[in-house]
């Protein structure tokens, strides 16, 4: 749950986890508070973390309060009142710039050296998300097994560890139209850790551009990246490589992992609907998104 708090003194954002979580690690607001606090002095656009109370201190669900930041998340349409000069091309480039800035942060300097377990990070990612699908299993989706085996057989050598956002895509960036266009804040840090940062680039690119299955999965997350004038995946990857010095030759693997992970998370949300823990139309519609995400992933394997 995310709510805007307003008073004559200002505005703040309050976040709380749902009553029934998708997984044991979902909606970990304690991790979000820690990483936002650590990045307060870094050259990365983030909200200011103001207060945190864990579940034992309140009513069984943690509470995070942060500053309200101007800007809009971009989904399937331009926000009302935006100038035409704030095009998707500029948005794509500043989004990659913000991601590169995050991945350049010295984890020791900001006190996050023990924030995650970077050794064998990619190996654990495949095992973790396949396991989450199995735990939440409400139907047979053979592509999970196929893609899991492909990911294990083709796993690249890990790049140097850095801060990983864990859910980095256009909808988790607040954009100011300017001019100039800029990312005012990266939001939703519950899955942040220390590991191979190319997993973030893999998700951004997997949800970017026209080279995907039809009909499109989760259109509100990625529809704007298909409009004319959007930078290509290659342009975004090249810009990232220039800014970070990291290799991008294995991006196909990271995009498959990103879609595999997202499908496992979304299937967990759909399982809540099937099991009677969520009854809204959105939760029901997720049942169609998971096969489409897996089909997208399979396109990168063939």
Q: What is the pLDDT along the chain (302 residues), one digit of tens a residue?
A: 899 999 998 999 999 987 655 555 556 899 999 999 999 989 999 999 999 998 767 777 899 999 999 999 888 788 888 877 668 899 999 999 999 999 999 999 999 999 999 999 999 999 999 999 999 999 999 999 999 999 999 999 999 999 999 999 999 999 999 889 999 999 999 999 999 999 999 999 999 977 555 667 777 777 788 888 889 999 999 999 999 999 999 999 999 999 999 999 999 999 999 998 888 888 888 899 999 999 999 988 86
| pTM for the whole structure | 0.92
Query: Domain segments of the chain: what residues?
Result: 70-301
* Ramachandran assignment for 177, one of left (phi > 0), alpha (psi -120 to 50 degrees), beta (any other): alpha
Please tell me the distance from the alpha carbon of residue 166 to that of residue 57, in angstroms, as a whole number: 27
Q: Please answer whether residues 62 and 16 qualify as being in contact, where contact means their C-beta atoms are separated by less than 8 angstroms.
A: yes
CA distance between the termini of the chain:
39
Q: pLDDT value at position 20?
A: 57
Q: pLDDT value at position 75?
A: 81
> Which CATH number describes the domain made up of 70-301?
3.90.1200.10
Helix, coil or strand: residue 7: strand
Q: Please answer whether residues 231 and 92 qualify as being in contact, where contact means their C-beta atoms are separated by less than 8 angstroms.
A: yes
Q: pLDDT value at position 57?
A: 73
Q: Residue 214: what are its φ and ψ, rounded to 5°? A: -125, 135
Q: Please answer whether residues 225 and 208 qualify as being in contact, where contact means their C-beta atoms are separated by less than 8 angstroms.
A: yes
Q: Please answer whether residues 173 and 187 qualify as being in contact, where contact means their C-beta atoms are separated by less than 8 angstroms.
A: yes
Q: How many residues does the chain have?
A: 302
Please tell me the distance from the alpha carbon of residue 216 to that of residue 223, in angstroms, as a whole number: 8
């Amino acid at each position: 749950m995310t709510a805007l708090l307003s008073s004559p003194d200002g505005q703040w954002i309050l976040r709380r986890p749902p009553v029934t979580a998708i997984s044991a690690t979902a909606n970990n607001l304690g991790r979000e508070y820690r990483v936002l606090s650590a990045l307060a002095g870094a050259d990365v656009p983030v909200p200011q973390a103001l207060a945190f109370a864990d579940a034992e201190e309140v009513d069984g669900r943690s509470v995070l309060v942060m500053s309200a930041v101007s800007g809009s998340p971009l989904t399937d349409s331009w926000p009302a009142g935006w100038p035409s000069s704030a095009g998707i091309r500029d948005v794509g480039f500043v989004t990659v710039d913000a991601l590169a800035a995050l991945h350049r942060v010295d984890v020791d300097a900001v006190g996050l050296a023990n924030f995650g377990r970077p050794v064998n990070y990619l190996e654990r990612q495949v095992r973790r998300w396949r396991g989450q699908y199995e735990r939440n299993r409400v139907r047979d989706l053979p592509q999970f097994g196929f893609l899991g085996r492909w990911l294990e057989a083709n796993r690249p050598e890990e790049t140097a560890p850095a801060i990983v956002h864990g859910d980095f895509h256009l909808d988790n960036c607040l954009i100011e139209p300017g001019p100039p266009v800029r990312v005012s804040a990266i939001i939703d840090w519950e899955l942040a850790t220390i590991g191979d940062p190319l997993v973030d680039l893999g998700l951004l690119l997997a949800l970017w551009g026209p080279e995907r299955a039809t009909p499109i999965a989760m259109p509100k997350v990625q529809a704007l990246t298909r409009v004319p004038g959007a930078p290509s995946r290659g342009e975004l990857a090249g810009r990232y490589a220039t800014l970070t010095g990291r290799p991008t030759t294995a991006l196909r693997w990271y995009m498959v992992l990103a879609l595999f992970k997202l499908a496992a998370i979304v299937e967990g949300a759909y399982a809540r609907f099937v099991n009677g823990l969520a009854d809204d139309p959105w939760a029901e519609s997720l049942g169609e998104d998971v096969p489409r995400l897996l089909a997208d992933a399979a396109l990168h394997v063939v």
